[in-house]
């Protein structure tokens, strides 16, 4: 049976943020197994590619001059400079995928998310939380990629970031990856059902005939003789 509702083809723009160690990447990977019509946004950077990195897969690699030229042309939703290199979220590629009906996921830090919120408040903002600060610190330590000083710095930063959750639409606790991904998927399904995402409501000829018949029948109904028993 053909649906009465025609939803907009435009994809959803989703921002996922959360402290380092909360498991954002793991949640996104799991989400893609149950929601394949998603595209993970690729950032632009002016830094040199590292061994094994591919242009258009890990980053879009630009020269510093190219990046600054794109800044003047307002080609980025948001950008920042770290250690002498630029990093930014390109508008062009995101819009292409949204127009194709794909949901686009941006995994970015809070300051970048807030810049996007200023420009595109209809974006869906989801904050991924660790189950506890103790568990977060354990995850950071288990990475064994940083020394104690850097871990403490990340842990303090995480505490500051968690205090920003009121600026997001949703918060999902990543205790079990599969459960967290299912909750994110449920959020996106609910967003798809919002009335402002409906393009058109239409009836087929049979439904139109039924509608007209019901209207005609209602004209003959005399509710003045209707009694209500108490």
Q: pTM for the full model?
A: 0.77
DSSP states along 92-146: HHHHHHHHTT-EEEEE--HHHHHHHHHH-TTSEEEEEE-S-HHHHHHHHHHH-SS
- Per-residue pLDDT at 223 exceeds 70: no
Is residue 96 located within the same domain as residue 109? Answer: no
Is residue 139 located within the same domain as residue 181? Answer: yes
Q: Strand 103-107 relative to strand 38-40: parallel, antiparallel, unpaired?
A: parallel
| pLDDT confidence bin for 33, thresholds 50/70/90 | very high
- pLDDT, residue 69, reads 97
Distance CA(192)–CA(186), nearest Å, equals 10
Distance CA(116)–CA(88), nearest Å, equals 11
Contact of 16 with 170, CB cutoff 8 Å: no
Is residue 115 located within the same domain as residue 31? Answer: yes
Is residue 75 located within the same domain as residue 166? Answer: no
Helices then strands (H, E): number in the chain? 8, 11
Is residue 46 located within the same domain as residue 83? Answer: yes
Domain that residue 32 falls in: 1-37+102-206
Number of structural domains in the chain:
2
- pLDDT, residue 50, reads 85
- Per-residue pLDDT at 141 exceeds 50: yes
Closest by CA position to 114, among listed 164, 66, 52: 164
Is residue 51 located within the same domain as residue 61? Answer: yes
Distance CA(173)–CA(128), nearest Å, equals 6
Among 32-36, 63-67, 151-155, 202-206, name the one with the lowest average pLDDT.
202-206
Contacts of residue 187, Cβ cutoff 8 Å, sequence gap at least 6: 124, 126, 170, 172
In a domain, 213, yes or no: no
- Per-residue pLDDT at 165 exceeds 60: yes
CA atoms within 13 A on the CB side of 150: 9
Contacts of residue 62, Cβ cutoff 8 Å, sequence gap at least 6: 44, 45, 46, 70, 86
**Domain containing 65 — which CATH number?**
3.30.63.10
Distance CA(117)–CA(191), nearest Å, equals 17
Is residue 110 located within the same domain as residue 149? Answer: yes
| pLDDT confidence bin for 155, thresholds 50/70/90 | confident
Is residue 88 located within the same domain as residue 119? Answer: no
- Per-residue pLDDT at 47 exceeds 90: yes
Last residue of a domain, one of 75, 100, 125: 100
**Domain containing 198 — which CATH number?**
3.40.50.300
């Amino acid at each position: 049976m053909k649906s009465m509702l025609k939803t907009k083809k435009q994809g959803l723009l989703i921002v996922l943020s959360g402290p380092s160690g909360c498991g954002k990447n793991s949640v996104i990977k799991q989400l893609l197994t149950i929601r394949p019509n998603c595209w993970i946004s690729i950032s632009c950077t002016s830094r040199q590619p590292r061994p094994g990195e591919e242009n258009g897969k890990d980053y879009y690699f630009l020269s510093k001059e190219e990046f600054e030229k794109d800044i003047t042309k307002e080609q980025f939703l948001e950008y920042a400079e770290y250690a002498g290199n630029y990093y930014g979220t390109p508008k062009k590629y995101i819009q292409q995928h949204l127009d194709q009906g794909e949901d686009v996921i941006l995994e970015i830090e809070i300051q970048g998310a807030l810049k996007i919120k200023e420009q595109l408040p209809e974006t869906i903002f989801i904050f991924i939380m660790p189950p506890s600060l103790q568990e977060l610190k354990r995850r950071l330590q288990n990475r064994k990629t940083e020394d104690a000083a850097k871990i403490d710095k990340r842990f303090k930063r995480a505490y500051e970031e968690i205090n920003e959750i009121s600026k997001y639409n949703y918060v999902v606790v990543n205790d079990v990856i599969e459960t967290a991904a299912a909750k994110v998927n449920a959020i996106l399904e609910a967003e798809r059902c919002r009335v402002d995402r409906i393009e058109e409501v239409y009836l087929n000829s049979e439904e139109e005939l039924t509608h007209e018949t019901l209207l005609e029948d209602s004209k003959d109904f005399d509710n003045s003789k209707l009694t209500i028993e108490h």
